[in-house]
Amino acid sequence: MPLSDATTVLRHYFGYDSLYPYQEEIIQALAEGEDVLGVIATGGGKSLCYQIPALISGGTTVVISPLIALMKDQVDTLRECGVPAACITSLQDYAERRETEAALARGAVRVLYVSPERAVKTEFFSLLKKAHVSLIAVDEAHCISQWGHEFRPEYRELARLIREFPQAPVVALTATATPAVQNDIIAQLHLRRPRRVTGSFYRKNLCYEVRQKKDTKGAILSYIRDHRGQSGIIYCLSRKGVKELADTLRLSGIRALPYHAGLTRQAREEAQEAFVRDRVQVIVATVAFGMGIDKPDVRFVIHHDLPRSPEHYYQETGRAGRDGDPADCILFYSPGDLHRQAFFIRQESSAARQKAEYAKLGEMAAYCEEHRCRQAMILQYFGEEPPAGGCGTCDVCCSPRERFDGTAIARTAITCVQNLEIPCGSSHLIDLLRGANTKKIREMGQRNATGYGTGKAYSKDDWRSFIRELVRLGYLERESGVYPVLTVGEAGRELLAAGDDADAVFLTRTKLPATRQEEPADPLFLKLKALRREIADREEIAPYMIFSDAALRAMIASRPETDAAFLSIKGVGAAKLERFGRSFMAALRPVENVPDGSAAETLRLYRAGCTMTEIAERRSLTPDICGAHIAAAIDNGEPVEIDDLVPPHRQATIREAAAREGTQDLRRLKTILGERFSYTDIRLTCAVDRQHAGR
C-alpha cells in the first residue's frame, strides 16, 4: 500500500494533510502484514493507526476497547467523518445488535468496536467469520500486563481471538508502557515478530507543576475561578474526597459533578456525558474516571492526592490538552500521601508485585520532591532522552532560583540524622529540627536529641526543599520500602569528616511560578463555539466531534467563503463540509456583509410571515443566527411578538428557571432546562423579559 493512499484517506475523511512519522511506520508495517506494538503518547493519534488501514483494506477492522463509553465516542466521531463504524455492547437492545450483525455480515462495517470480554466468546468468533477480518487492533494494550497500571485479566484471553484469524495482522497500542510492560504485551498476545514503534512521550503543550498541600481546596477553587469556562478533571484518592470537593465547588457556583465507582452506572454515564458535552465544567473523580474520555479540550488536570505510579500519573495527565493547545497539570503533594499509597500497596498478595509498586511509588516521591525538570523526569522514567536545558514550561524550569551557601543547613540536618538511635522519615526529621512538641517526639524522649530545635529559623516548606536537595546531591539517602527513612549518604559522611576544610554545599531557593494569564476570548471564537454547541445538542453528540477548537481558530484566521477554502482547514473532511460547512461559513461573515443587510432584514422577513427556517434558507444563515437577530432587535426596543416562535407555556418554564436560579445566563439555563429547549427559545424569552423590565 503506497503511503499516498493513506494520505488521501486522511485528507478525505479526517481533514488532515500529513501523518506523523510513527503513524506512517505503523500503517506501512500493517499493510505489509506485520504485527505491531505501538507506544504513542495520549493525543498522538493512535486511533488513526488502525482507522486508516481499515478504510484502505476494504475489510473489517476489529478494535478491542476497554470501556463502552470510549467505544460509543469513537463510533460517533467516525460516523461524523463519514466512516462506516459500529460497536456491539451490552447496552444495545436486541434489534440494534441484530442490525449491527447484519451490517457486519454484508461487509458494511469498516471498524467494529467490542470489549475484551465479548471478543473471546465463541459466538463472536462465528459472527466474525461471516465478515472479512482484515486487522485486529488492541487499544489500551497495557491492560494486558500485570506489571502495568490498569491490569485487566480478561485482556489475557485475547490471544484466542488472534489465533482464530491468523491472516489478520495485529496492532497493540498504548500510551504508557515501560520496556517490561512492552515485553509482557508481546508475550501475552503472542505477537509474531512485531515491529516496535515508539513515539515521543514528550507533551510540549502540558505545563507540569507540583504544589505543597496547603489549603488545597481553596487553591483549587481559586484556580478554577481564574479559568472559568475551561474544562478540567480533578482526581482524588477516595470517594469521600470526591464528594466533598465536588460539593465545595458546586456551592461556590462552579458546574461540577462527582464520579466514582460507588455511584450507579446511570449516574456515572450521565456525569461523563455532561462533561463531554460541556454541560459541566469540572469532573471530580477517583481513578475510575477518564479511560473512556476522548475529549480533546480538557484544559487542566489537577491531582488532589498523589498517584500511585508514574504510569498512572502520565496516563491521567495525558487527558489534558489532547488538541495540542496549552494545558495545566497540577499535583498537590504531602509526604503523608506516601503512607496512604503504601497502605494500598500492602494489600497486594504478591511480594514481587509489592516490591515493584514500592519502586514506582518511590519514583513518584522523587518526582514531587526533587528540583528537576518535571518533563525530564517523566521522559527518563519511560526511557526517553529529555530535551537539553529542560522543557521551559514546568514549575521547576519557570521558577526563578537563588543559589546560596547551604553548608550550615546541610551539617545541621546530617548531624541530626547521624545521631538518631532510630531512623526516621522526612516529616519527623523536620519536626525535630524545628523543635516541635509532638506526641511522637515526647514518647521517644527526643527533646534532648542532637539537633533538636536547631532549625527553627526555617519553615517546614523550606526544610522539605532542603532535604529533597540533600537527598538528590547524595548527602542524605532515602531508603525504599513501606516507611522510607533517611540515612547519611557518602557525601554527607565526607562533609562531616572534612570539618572546616569541606567544600561548600550549595542549595537553591525557589519561588512558585506566576500563574499563566489567560487571554480574553475572541467574541467570534465564542460565537463559533456557541454554534458548535447548539448543533451538538441538536445532533446529540459531543461538541468536539463537530470541530476542534483549533479548527475554529483556523476558520477565524482564514475566513473561508467557498467549499474548497473550508475544506483546506485542518480537521475538516468531506463529510463535515457537507453537514456543517454552510452554517459555519455563514457565522463567520460579519452581520453587515450578510446578503440583504443586517438583523433588521431578518426582522422584516419575520414580520412578513416567513418562518425561521424560510428566513435562514433565504439569507444563507442558520436558524440560530436568525433567532439572535430577532433577540437583538428586541434588545434595541423593537416590539416583537414571539409566541409563534416560543409557545407561551415554554416561555413560562424558561422564566421559572431564570427566577429560581437568579440568572439569565444562557448556558446555565440551557443546562438546567435540558434538550427540549433550544438556545433560541431561551435567548428570545430573556430578551422579551429584559425589554419589559426596562419599561
Q: Is a pLDDT exceeding 50 seen at residue 370?
A: yes
What are the two backbone dihedrals, phi and then psi, of residue 211, each rounded to the nearest 5 degrees?
-120, 145
> For the residues of 363-421, what is the DSSP string, one character each?
HHHHHHHS-S-HHHHHHHHTT-PPPTT--SSSHHHHS-EEEEE-HHHHHHHHHHHHH-S
To the nearest 10°, report the CA torsion of 237, 142, 317, 220: -10
| Residue corresponding to grid cell 460516523 | 79
Task: State the average pLDDT over residues 574-600.
Answer: 74
Whole-number pLDDT of residue 273: 86
If you average pLDDT over every residue of the chain, what do you get? Answer: 85
Query: pLDDT tens for residues 108-166?
Result: 999 999 988 898 888 899 899 888 999 999 998 888 886 666 677 788 889 999 999 99
Residues of the chain with CATH 1.10.10.10: 401-510
3-state secondary structure of 127: helix
Task: State the average pLDDT over residues 14-25.
Answer: 89
Q: At 333, which helix (H) or strand (E)?
A: strand 327-333
Question: Which pLDDT band, with edges at 50, 70 and 90, does 513 fall under?
Answer: very low
Sheet holding 327-333, edge to edge: 206-212, 327-333, 298-303, 231-235, 282-285, 256-259
What's the CATH number of domain 206-398, 3.40.50.300, 3.40.50.10900, 3.40.50.261, 1.10.238.10? 3.40.50.300
Q: Which class would CATH give 3-198?
A: alpha beta
3-state secondary structure of 583: helix
Q: Is a pLDDT exceeding 60 seen at residue 78?
A: yes
Fold type of domain 401-510: Arc Repressor Mutant, subunit A (1.10.10)
Q: Is a pLDDT exceeding 70 seen at residue 1?
A: no
Q: Is a pLDDT exceeding 70 seen at residue 314?
A: yes
| Residue corresponding to grid cell 532522552 | 385
3-state secondary structure of 359: helix
Rounded to 5 degrees, what angle do the CA atoms 526, 531, 537 make? 125
Distance CA 572, CA 8 (A): 13
Q: Is a pLDDT exceeding 50 seen at residue 596?
A: no
Task: State the average pLDDT over residues 490-510.
Answer: 87
Q: Is a pLDDT exceeding 50 seen at residue 9?
A: yes
What are the two backbone dihedrals, phi and then psi, of residue 401, each rounded to the nearest 5 degrees?
-120, 145
| HEC-encoded secondary structure of 204-220 | CCEEEEEEECCCHHHHH
Whole-number pLDDT of residue 656: 86
pLDDT, greater one: 483 or 297: 297
Rg (CA), the chain: 29
Whole-number pLDDT of residue 135: 95
Q: Which of 30-39, 48-57, 341-350, 415-424 has the lowest mean pLDDT?
A: 341-350
Task: State the average pLDDT over residues 258-262.
Answer: 90
CB-based contacts of 497, cutoff 8 Å, min separation 6: none
| Residue corresponding to grid cell 484471553 | 157
Rounded to 5 degrees, what angle do the CA atoms 286, 290, 291 make? 120
Q: Which amino acid is at 667?
A: R
Whole-number pLDDT of residue 291: 52
**How many percent of the chain have pLDDT more than 70?**
92
| Sign of the C-alpha dihedral computed for residues 583, 584, 585 and 591 taken in this order | positive
CB-based contacts of 300, cutoff 8 Å, min separation 6: 223, 227, 230, 232, 233, 320, 327, 328, 329, 330
Distance CA 305, CA 344 (A): 14
To the nearest 10°, report the CA torsion of 366, 370, 374, 376: -80
Whole-number pLDDT of residue 192: 92
Distance CA 388, CA 394 (A): 14
Whole-number pLDDT of residue 514: 44
CB-based contacts of 628, cutoff 8 Å, min separation 6: 599, 680, 683
Distance CA 155, CA 190 (A): 12
What is the pairing mode between strands 506-510 and 401-405? antiparallel
Distance CA 253, CA 670 (A): 16
Task: State the average pLDDT over residues 510-536.
Answer: 69
Whole-number pLDDT of residue 257: 94
Question: Which pLDDT band, with edges at 50, 70 and 90, does 402 fall under?
Answer: confident
Q: Which of 295-309, 499-513, 578-592, 679-693 has the lowest mean pLDDT?
A: 499-513
How far apart, in Å, are the Cα atoms of 598 and each of 518, 601, 604? 33, 6, 10
Distance CA 103, CA 112 (A): 11
Query: pLDDT tens for residues 186-240?
Result: 999 999 999 999 888 899 899 999 998 988 999 999 999 888 889 999 999 999 9
Whole-number pLDDT of residue 657: 83
Distance CA 85, CA 137 (A): 14
Distance CA 477, CA 369 (A): 13
Q: Is a pLDDT exceeding 70 seen at residue 593?
A: no
* Nearest by Cα to 145 from 189, 93, 195: 189
Answer whether 534's CB lies under 8 Å from 580's CB. Answer: no
pTM over 0.85: no
| HEC-encoded secondary structure of 445-504 | CCCCCCCCCCCCCCCHHHHHHHHHHHHHCCCEEECCCCCCCEEECHHHHHHHHHHHHCCC
Residues of the chain with CATH 3.40.50.300: 3-198, 206-398
**How many percent of the chain have pLDDT more than 90?**
34
Whole-number pLDDT of residue 153: 79
